[in-house]
Chain A
Amino acid sequence: MSYFFQLVVSGIVVGSIYALSAIGFVLIYKSSRVLNLAHGQIIATGAFITYSLTVTAHIPIYLSFLMSMIITFFLAMSVEKIFLRRLIGEPIISVIMVTIGLMSIIDGLIYLTPFGSENFSFPPFLPQQPIVYAGISISYTQLVGVIITFILIGLFSWFFKKSTVGISMRAVSDDQLASMSIGVSVPRVFGLAWATAGLSAAAAGSVIGNITGLNFSTLHAFGIIVFPVVILGGLDSLLGAVVAGIIMGLIQQFASGYLDGNFGLYGTAQVLPYILLLVLLLFKPHGLFGTHEIERV
């Protein structure tokens, strides 16, 4: 039984990291209806900035974690200003392709640095011993990751529900024209959406980097790994991202815990999310918590 609960705990840990990576996605989609394929690269950038600040500039890790979030905040904002601002109103494929272009550009820029093809790991700053309770163990790194995830999700939910800026972001996502007419600056909202997404990506990157070590291809793969999560949760729901993230984490853990190595199967954890996704798309196209679009001719 403790095996089962260990899987549950691990599933929740992995799932909340998925959720954290997915938030950035959802934030951008929620306000500007853009699918950001370069998200994985932004995650990696965030992780590398944190690392450089900690190791090269000798800034305490907690501080550099915050600083990296702030830096990525502005970086993402300027990315939006330079590349995506010009494409407001263009067809959706153009916007998706711009993010693909962006992905390659960031790839190129990262290959200019040692991070492109070398491996690093954060200096240990948390106790190495795991917390063990009734045979179930969780490491401090993972625990901190989960806590950060929930803090950020709480903050963002509050931001969208209560703050004026958040409400204007929701308004823009609902109807750009109408929100413009009541005085909301649409470009500013888009910029802000990217910026907050960048912030959450930096957080995600630093958390993942602490768990897997800093390897560029491992980190940017998270941009793709979170796809099923965001779709499952519905593209524009923060709560959906969290729930779907945890569901995916649990599914993967159970798949590798019970399926792999038993029926001549292996690697099921990798493909199960996509199969689930395809099936779900047929029956519930807008995900678990996504808003139904009502279209009028």
Chain B
Amino acid sequence: MKTYKISIWLMVSLVAVMLAMPVSSGAEVYKLGLSLAITGPTSDAGNPYAKGVEDYFRYVNDMKLLGKDTIDCTIRDDKYETAITKRNFEEYLDMGIVFYLNYSTGSTLGLKRDFEEVKMPVIPASFHAGNLEESNYIFLPIASYSAQAIGLAEYVVKNHNGKTPKVALFVHPSAFGRGPVDDVKKSVAAGLGMEIVEVVEHGKDLDNTAMLQRFKSKGVQYVISQTVQSPVAVMLNDASRLGLVAKTFGEKGKITFLGCHYTGGNDLIALAGDAAENFYWTTSYIITSEPGVGTDAQLALAKRYGRDDKAANSHNYANGVMVAQVAAEVIKRAKTRGKEVTKETLYEELLAMNGMNAFYPVTTVGPVTYSKDDHQGVDTLQLYAVDKGQFKSVGTPFIPEYTGKIK
């Protein structure tokens, strides 16, 4: 009964609020929704991500980038629980959102069918390749974890001296971590010249000595990790204690550590300290330790909205800004073409985002392209490595070759 009463009160108050709102003349408000983990697991990534999304939409509204129209993006915490994400999503649907931003791998996979049913274009913060299976409405912002892992593997193969490189995969015990494993294995089967010695799923380990010693005895020279920063930091600390970290790429008898998007960034350096030195990391985002036009823009945006240094310099802040940019861009394009902004037209705009229509956000190392068969936004990746406590670019942006070969 209590629920019922409170629901009535909620409705009444909602109606009151709606009536109280000034009726603006002709200016439209486009509703968007973002549900992500601001508390709970992975909140260290979710927090700056949310700030990035929030700041960019504020910027769009403040700068009147959409003319009189504004974007109203509701951001909700889901504590990394799919059930709460679902609740948030249902609420956003009730609000009448035209575009949805999601976060975790688990919830993206869990809500896949809902996205299909309501035909809602979605950009998740999870780059899991499995998100795209049996799904038409999910768009990854950048290359999938699989592509990232394969990219790293290709780099290993190209730059390795000597016999077939022996590689171990160090992954998170979830779909998020396991996703790329199969694809890397497929690439090896398709002719990528390396040997996968072992796939390790980590837990909450205090000490990885056993694992690292085992790697050493099996002759593993490279560890590609697909997880979050904290376990990587523990592993790096142990490796540096055991004197196993390679000083240069592929050093003989030592191990070179590499990782995908969520393993790296300033958080890793904050956690692992000096042990992070010479850690190779790939992502499609620009980072602030490599100054450029994009990073200037990112820092200016963060400064404008009073964010602290930590958030401003986070690659996940760039991550959040970028998905907001894509969302704002498709709304803008739909408007310029004189179409009504609905989830259908935004979906069409996303699909048309290729060729001459590709979108260049300044926060990534390459253009965002989507089409009917390509739901991965930025296909190019950039390799970074830690040098004196900062991530620095290694080489130029590249596109992994084997992603196409294993399809």
Q: Which chain A residues have a beta carbon within 8 Å of chain B's beta carbons? A: 3, 6-7, 10, 13-14, 17, 111, 114, 116-121, 123-124, 128, 130, 132, 137-139, 142, 208, 211-215, 217-218, 221, 225, 253-254, 256-257, 260-261, 266-267, 269-270
Contacts and interface: CB of A to CB of B under 8 A. Distances in A.
B217 A3 contact: yes
Given A213-B270, A213-B273, 18 more contacts: A6-B210, A14-B206, A14-B207, A116-B43, A117-B38, A119-B229, A211-B234, A212-B271, A213-B234, A213-B271, A217-B41, A217-B43, A218-B230, A225-B204, A256-B205, A260-B210, A261-B214, A270-B203
A260 B203 CA distance: 12
Given A213-B272, A267-B203, A130 B210 contact: no
B85 interface: no
A53 to B, nearest CB: 18
Contacts of B200: 260-261, 266
**Which of A120, A213, A270 is packed against the most chain B CB atoms within 10 Å?**
A213
Contact of A267 (B46, B201, B229, B273): B201
B204 A117 contact: no
B203 A6 contact: no
B248 interface: no
The 9 closest A-B pairs by CB, nearest first: A213-B271, A257-B210, A270-B203, A139-B241, A10-B209, A117-B43, A117-B47, A130-B241, A119-B267
B198 A118 contact: no
Interface string B19-34: 0000000000000000
B271 A215 contact: yes
A283 B233 CA distance: 39
13 contacts: A114-B310, A128-B240, A128-B274, A130-B242, A132-B243, A137-B243, A212-B230, A213-B233, A213-B270, A217-B41, A256-B210, A257-B213, A261-B198
B39 interface: yes
Contacts of B237: 139, 211-213
A237 to B, nearest CB: 23
Nearest to B42: A217
Nearest to A215: B230
A267 B204 CA distance: 9
A111 B39 contact: yes
B207 A253 contact: yes
Contacts of A10: 207, 209-210
A257 B212 CA distance: 9
B44 interface: yes
B173 interface: yes
Nearest to B43: A117
A137 B310 contact: no
Contacts of A3: 213-214, 217
A277 to B, nearest CB: 16
Contacts of B12: none
Contact of B233 (A13, A212, A253): A212
Contacts of B243: 130, 132, 137
B212 to A, nearest CB: 10
B211 interface: yes
A120 B242 contact: no
A13 B200 CA distance: 22
Nearest to A269: B203
A217 B44 CA distance: 10
A17 B242 CA distance: 19
Nearest to B216: A3
B346 to A, nearest CB: 31
Which of B200, B202, B206, B217 is most buried by chain A, counting CB atoms within 10 A of its CB?
Answer: B206
A119 B173 contact: no
Nearest to B38: A117
Contacts of B217: 3
Given A137-B242, A211-B206, A118 B44 contact: yes
Contacts of B211: 256-257, 260
Nearest to A122: B273
A266 B201 CA distance: 6
Given A14-B207, A117-B47, A266-B201, A6 B213 contact: yes
Contacts of B233: 121, 212-213
Contacts of B47: 117-118
A227 to B, nearest CB: 13
B273 A13 contact: no
Contacts of B274: 124, 128
Contact of A17 (B38, B43, B206): B206
A121 B272 contact: yes
A130 to B, nearest CB: 4
A118 B270 CA distance: 9
Contacts of A214: 271
A218 B237 CA distance: 15
Contacts of A270: 203-204
Nearest to A271: B203
Nearest to B240: A128
Most buried by A among B204, B233, B241, B271: B241
Interface in B213-255: 213-214, 217, 229-230, 233-234, 237, 240-243
B44 A117 contact: yes
A30 B159 CA distance: 59
A211 B209 CA distance: 13
Contacts of A221: 204
A225 B43 CA distance: 21
